[in-house]
Every structure is written in C-alpha cells, then in structure tokens.
Structure 1
Amino acid sequence: MIAALRVVIIFAAFLMLTLVLLPVQLIALGIGHSIMQRLPRWWHRIMCRVIGLRLRVDGSLSQQRPLLLVANHVSWKDILVLGSVADVVFIAKSEVRNWPVLGWLARLQRTVFVQRDVRRTTGMQISDVSARLVAGEVVVLFAEGTTSDGNRVMPFNSSLFGAASAALPFAPQDKVHIQPVSIAYTGIHGMPMGRYHRPVAGWPGDVALGPHLLRVIRNGALDVHVIFSDAVEFDATTNRKTMARLVEARVREGLNAALRGKFNG
C-alpha cells in the first residue's frame, strides 16, 4: 500500500513540475533564451529529491572550456544525477528520441541524438556535438555506449571522442578539455548497497524500462556518489584511443573507490 502510494505521489509531482516548467522551456527554445540551458537543471534537481536520489559530489565541474564530460553509464537515473549538478547537454543514441516520455524530455533538454552504427551520418553528428562544445556548452558522453549493472566500467568507445577533434580548430588555444566523471550507486535506505541490491540502481540494456522504473520509484532512497576527476587536455597531438583508455581508467578508479567506500575526496 505504501509503495503504491509512493508511486502515485511521484507521478503526480512529475506531472505538476513538468507542466509548470514546460511552457517556459518551449518559449526559451523558440527564442533562443539562455534559460533553456538552466531550466533542465532545476527540473533534474527537484526530481532527484522527489524520487529519493541522495547525492554526494566530490570534485567539481571544470571551469575550462570547451569541456566534454565522459562518464560511466548505469541507468536512466544518471541523466537526473548529472543534470542536477551542472548545466549540461547529453549525447544519446538515436533510439531514445522515440521512447515514450523519456524521448520527449530528452528533446526538450536539447539532447544530441546519434546513430552510432550509420557511418554516413557520423561526420554530421560529430559536427553537431563539436558545435555545442565550441559554443561553451558542457556536453556529456556516456562512452560505454550502453548501460551496465553498476558494478563495473565497460570498455569505452573512442569514436565519439572525434567530436573533440572536430572542435579543435575553433577552440581557444586549440585545446578541448575532457573531464572523467564516475557515477556510483552506493546505498539504499541509508545502508551500503552490495551486489545483491545493485540491480535496483543498475539498468542493463536487456531489462524492460517500465518495470525497472516502477521498482526504482517503489524503493527510493538511493545514495549516489558522483566523482569529478581532474580534466585532461585534448589537442591535435592526442590519440583518441589513448585518450579513451586514459579516461576509462580514471572513471573506473573513481567507481571502484566509491563502491568500496574507500574514496577520500
């Protein structure tokens, strides 16, 4: 009964918040007002509290620009988490555009949709991402290319690091800054989250979205640890694959430390 009531309350809060902010965002998008970049952060921050995502953040967003954030990807909740701590835009696979509700919200948040398996569109997609970077927007790349179970970091795909290369000719000092970010789901209802409970947080690609969404809402009270590592410079001499491996190692280091409770900040 309590779980069902919680679901009703959260969906009601989602509808109210979205309906209040939606007209403002639509107008901002129409006239190109800068509030279109800040409004999603307010929405994400409130929804994190409503759902019960309790954030701990170590490190801080780099002030250097252009800036590409590269993070591990555990669940759709990662969008709420990162969107609540910084004004960012996300890179998502093209299928997300057509998802019920989530796809619509992604479009309102000015997400860059990419078709990773269609080579003929790669150049155009990279140009879109690099244009956002050059414009000073902070772009988030989930470099694993899919979600995981939250216990590990899967190999990073270096292809979209090409957006950093494309931005170099237009970037100040011919450099793009890449900042590794680790997202770890560490607790549930105030207790440490072991491997048994982590499926509540993780959303592997073969799990249906609807049941997982309801499970998260019913449980609530998830502790999330976000670690911003130091940004690294990407310039014309940088090898994309080498950079991908370096950033992957730093993200994995942060995740493992957080999951083991050994992160000292």
Structure 2
Amino acid sequence: MIGRIRLVVALGGVAVSTLALVPLQLVAMKTRLWSEWPVLRLWHRVNVRALGFRVHQHGQLTDKRPLVVAANHISWTDISVIGSRCDVSFIAKADMAAWPVMGWLARLQRTIFIERERRRTSGTQASEIARRLAAGEAVVLFAEGTTGDGNVILPFKSTLFGAATMAIQEGAADKVYIQPLTIAYTRFQGMPMGRRHRPLAAWIGDTELAPHAAALLSEGAVDVELHFGEAIEFSAGDNRKEATRRAESEVRAMLQAALARPIPSKR
C-alpha cells in the first residue's frame, strides 16, 4: 500500500510540474523572450524531488566551451538527475523520439537523436552535434552506447566522439573539451544498496519501462551522486581513441570511489 501511495504521489508531482512548466518552455523556445534553461532546470528539479530522488553533486560542470560531457548511463532517470543541476543538451537513440510522451519531452530538452546503426546518416548527425557545440552548448554523451547495471562501466565507444573531431575539422572550434561525469546510484531509503541490489535502479536489457518505473518509484528515497572530473582538452591531431580511454578511465575510477565510500555532499 505504501509503495502504491509513493507511486501515485510521484506521478502526480511530475504531472503537475509538467502542466505548469512545459507551456513556459514552449513559449521560450518559440519566442526567445526568456532563456529556456532555467525553466528546464526547474522542471527537472521538481521532478527528481517528486520521484523521491536525492541528488548529491561533487564537482562542477566546467565553464569551458565547446564541451562534450562523457557520462555513464544507468537508467531513464539519469536525464532528470543531470538536468536538475546542469544546463545541457542530450544525445539519445533515434527510436526514443517516437516514444509516447517521453519522446515529446525529450524534444523539449533539445535532445539530439541519432541512429547509431545507420552509417549513412552518421555524418549529418555528427554535423548537428558539431553545430550545437560551436554555438556554445554543453552536450551530454552517454558514451557506453547503452545502459549498465550501476556496478561497472562498460567500454566507451570512440565513434560517438566523432562530433568533436568534426567540429574542429569544419573550423567551428580549434579545440573541444571532454568532461568525464559519473552517475552513481548509492542508497535506498538511506541504506547502501550494495552490489546485489544496485541493479534495481538500472534500466537494462529488454526490461519494459512502465513496470521498471513503477517498481523503482515505489521504493522511494533514492540517493544518486554526480561526480564531475577534470575537462580533457581535445585538439586537432589528437587521438580520439586515446581521449576516449582517458574519459572512460576517469569515469570508472570515480564510480569505484563513489560505490566504495558513498558520502553525500551538500544537496
């Protein structure tokens, strides 16, 4: 019964915030009368609180631009967790654009949809990302290319960093910064999850979204940590695979430290 109450409260909170703030976001996007970023950030902050998430931030998003944020990926909640603290755009799989409600909300977040399996579209997609980078946007790339179980970091895909190379090659920038970001889900209701229970927060494999969301939100009080690493400078002539390995190594090290000593920072 308590789990059902938590679920209803969580979904009700998200619905209210969406009805109140999305119209403001749409007006901002159409008219440019005010910046859309504060509206997005507020929407995400209200949502993470409604969902029962406590976000603990370690470090800051760098102010260096152009910027690609290279992050691990665990769950559908990652976007709101990051968006509640940072003004960033996201890169997502193209099939997400067709999802009911979620696809529409992703567009409001200025998400860039890519088709990773279709090589003939990769140049156009990388060009769009490069254009966003040149315009000064910070773009979040889930560099594993899929979601993990929250215990380990999967290998980063260097091909996903092609936009950074293209931005330099096209003369849009003389360098691009890559900042590692680790997302770590550490506690349920104040208690450490542990390796065995941490995958409860992960949305992996062929798990259906609705039942996973219902099970996760019914738990309540989830602690998640964001750890920002030092930005890596990437210039013309630099090795993309080496930059990818450096980002992956730092994200992995920060995850291991977070899971070994989950010490909440100031919220």
TM-score (norm 1): 0.95
Distance 1:220 1:32 in 2: 37
8 Å CA contact 1:25–1:39 kept in 2: the answer is yes
Equivalent residue, structure 1, for 2:172: 170
TM-score, with length taken from structure 2: 0.95
What does residue 249 of structure 1 align with? 249
Q: Aligned runs of 1:127-146 on 2, under 5 Å?
A: 127-146=127-146
Instruction: Quickly say closer, same or farther: Cα 1:262–1:224, change in 2 above 3 A.
Output: closer
Give deviations 1:169-225, integer Å, cap 9, x for gaps: 222xx1111000011111111011112221221111321111110011101211111
Give the number of equivalent residue pairs: 263
Instruction: Find the aligned partners of 1:69 and 1:175 in 2 and give their Cα distance.
Output: 14
Percent identity between the two aligned chains: 50
Aligned partners of 1:7 and 1:43: how far apart in 2?
18
Partner of 1:149: 149
Q: Which residue of 2 aligns with 1:229?
A: 229
- State the shift of 1:35 in Å: 1.9
Distance 1:226 1:12 in 2: 26
* Backbone CA RMSD of aligned residues: 1.5
Matched, 1:28 2:21: no
Specify every segment of 5 or more residues in structure 2 that has no aligned partner in the other structure, as ranges.
Answer: none
Aligned partner of 2:172: which letter?
F
Separation in 1, partners of 2:55, 2:242: 31
Once the two structures are superposed, what CA deviation does each residue of 1:33-55 show, in whole Å capped at 9, x if it has no partner? Answer: 55223321111111111111111
C-alpha contact (below 8 Å) 1:257/1:263 kept by paired residues: no
How many Å apart are 1:99 and its aligned residue?
1.4
Contact 2:131 2:172 in 1 (8 A): no
Q: CA deviation at 1:244?
A: 0.9
Q: CA deviation at 1:15?
A: 1.2
| Structure 1 unpaired stretches of 5+ | none
User: What's the offset of the Cα at 1:100?
Assistant: 2.0
